[in-house]
Amino acid sequence: MSKAARKLSTSIEIDATALPPLGMPATDFLRDYWQKKPLLIRNAFPDFVSPITPEDLAGLACEELALSRIVAHDRERDGWLLRHGPFPEEFFPTLPQHDWTLLVQDVDKWDVDIRALLAHFDFLPSWRIDDVMVSFAAPGGSVGAHVDQYDVFLLQAHGHRRWQVDASSNPPTAFRDDVELKLLREFHPTHDWVLCPGDMLYLPSGVPHHGVAEDACLTFSIGMRAPSAAELLGDFVDTLSADADEALRYHDEDLVPPRDPNEIDAVAMQRVVEALNALRMNNPDRLGDWFGSFITTYRNSGEIAAQQEMRPRIEIEWDLQHDAQLLRHPWSRMAWRKSSHPGRGAMLYASGHALAMSVRDAQQLAAAARVDGVLYSKLSDAGRDAVFELFQAGQYQLQTEEEE
pLDDT at position 341 is: 82
- Note if the bond before 86 is cis, omega within 30 degrees: yes
Residue 19 pLDDT > 50, yes or no?
Answer: yes
Give how many domains the chain has, as a whole number: 3
Residues 143, 104 share a domain: yes
Tell me the sheet residues that pair with 152: 203, 223
On whether residue 307 sits in a domain, the answer given is no
Which range marks the domain in which residue 164 is found? Answer: 3-224
Residues 241, 115 share a domain: no
Question: Which stretches does DSSP call E strand in 85-214?
Answer: 100-104, 129-137, 152-158, 161-165, 191-195, 200-203, 209-213
Q: Name the more confident of 297 and 30.
A: 30
Q: Which of 79-83, 120-124, 298-302, 327-331 is predicted with the least confidence, judged by mean pLDDT?
A: 298-302
In this structure, what DSSP letter does residue 95 have? S
Q: What is the pTM of this model?
A: 0.90
Angle value at C-alpha 262, between 256 and 264, nearest 5 degrees: 70
Residue 91 pLDDT > 70, yes or no?
Answer: yes
Mean pLDDT of 76-98: 94
Q: Name the more confident of 248 and 354.
A: 354
Residues 326, 187 share a domain: no
Residue 402 pLDDT > 70, yes or no?
Answer: no
On whether residue 103 sits in a domain, the answer given is yes
CB atoms within 10 A of CB 92: 16
CB atoms within 10 A of CB 388: 17
Residue 281 pLDDT > 80, yes or no?
Answer: no
Residues 181, 112 share a domain: yes
pLDDT tens digits, 331-374: 999 999 999 888 789 999 999 999 999 999 999 999 999 999 99
pLDDT band at 404 (very low <50, low <70, confident <90, very high): low
pLDDT at position 300 is: 60
Nearest to residue 38, comparing CAs of 170, 203, 153? 203
Nearest to residue 62, comparing CAs of 89, 41, 33? 89
Mean pLDDT of 262-279: 91
Residues with Cβ within 8 Å of 396's Cβ and at least 6 positions away in sequence, in order, are 326, 327, 328, 329, 332, 371, 387, 390
On whether residue 290 sits in a domain, the answer given is no
pLDDT at position 369 is: 94
Q: In the sheet where 39-42 sits, what is the strand order?
A: 13-15, 39-42, 200-203, 152-158, 217-224, 129-137, 100-104, 68-74, 79-84
pLDDT band at 301 (very low <50, low <70, confident <90, very high): low
Mean pLDDT of 209-213: 98
Mean pLDDT of 307-325: 91
Please give the Cα distance from 348 to 363 (Å, whole number): 8
Residues with Cβ within 8 Å of 349's Cβ and at least 6 positions away in sequence, in order, are 289, 292, 293, 295, 296, 334, 335, 336, 337
Mean pLDDT of 54-80: 95
Residues 152, 38 share a domain: yes
On whether residue 118 sits in a domain, the answer given is yes
Please give the Cα distance from 212 to 228 (Å, whole number): 29
On whether residue 292 sits in a domain, the answer given is no
Pair 163, 153: CB distance under 8 Å: no
pLDDT at position 2 is: 47
